[in-house]
Amino acid sequence: MKYSIPFYYTTISRIKSKAQILEYVAFYFIIGLILLFTYTKVEITTLMLWFIGFVGMISIYEIGYLRNDFVTIKKEKSPKLRCSITERENIINSFKGIVLLKYLYTLMVVTILYLLEVDLKYFIICLVLIEATYLIHNNLRSKITYITFFLLTVLRYFTPFTLISNINLKSVLISVIFLIAIPRMYDKLNSKLKRKYKSTEPIKKIYRFRTVYYFVVFLFILILGLREYLIITLYLLIYRTIIYLRKK
């Protein structure tokens, strides 16, 4: 049952094109590596823990995707279909089994980490928060979804780092909130305007805002001497500036 494999559903529903794949690599995995090298001493075990944490997290996270795309969607007037008709039929026919296997994958990850004597308390708390937040997100279609979207963005990036004992979690959390989650909230608000008014102007504003936002944050960091946030901010500033110039 390939749809239960961690990260598989993401690839067929959220990052289908080459551009989206590059975006995901640049904006998740490379950011993850930069945060690791900035806030802890990186060894092979550190990278392995982060990756295992990602597998456990994405298994739970994709259950939220599935419920959104196959359950919540029934309540929407103009639903967005995330995958092909064939894929949808296959998933609908095996929906409960796919969800169950995803829970089992996460349980397997937690069991392996427990046997390796890894401190799991923050990791488990984050997994529970993802599940609870997604339940609210998928069942209450109102302005509260902006809050749940923000929390889910923070948890998606932050959760794998909780398995690393010698990392500065406070600095990671601050980086995730101010450098990832807040700009993503602006993206979401403008994407909604694009769908409502059928205009490309909100998307242009997103590209411009990202560049200006990271430039302002970068200046703020230089002025206050917050060196620990310098590399990740500079990376995001350069990356978003390149995207803005290409889309302009």
pLDDT at 196 over 70: no
Q: Which has the closest alpha carbon to 81: 73, 72, 90?
A: 73
Alpha-carbon distance of 55 to 49, in angstroms, equals 10
> Do residues 203 and 188 make contact, with C-beta atoms less than 8 angstroms apart?
no
Return the higher-pLDDT residue of 179 and 247: 179
Q: What is the structure's pLDDT at 197?
A: 46
User: Please, what is the Cα angle at 142 between 140 and 146, to 5 degrees?
Assistant: 100
- Summarised one tens digit per residue, pLDDT across range 159-170 is 999 999 999 999
pTM of the model: 0.92
Q: Which has the closest alpha carbon to 72: 81, 84, 59, 61?
A: 81
Q: Which region, left, alpha or beta, applies to residue 198 given φ > 0 means left and ψ of -120 to 50 means alpha?
A: left
The DSSP symbol for 41 reads: -
Look up residue 192 and give its two tokens.
């909604």
DSSP 211-229: HHHHHHHHHHHHHHT-GGG
pLDDT at 121 over 80: yes
- Summarised one tens digit per residue, pLDDT across range 230-245 is 999 999 999 999 988 8
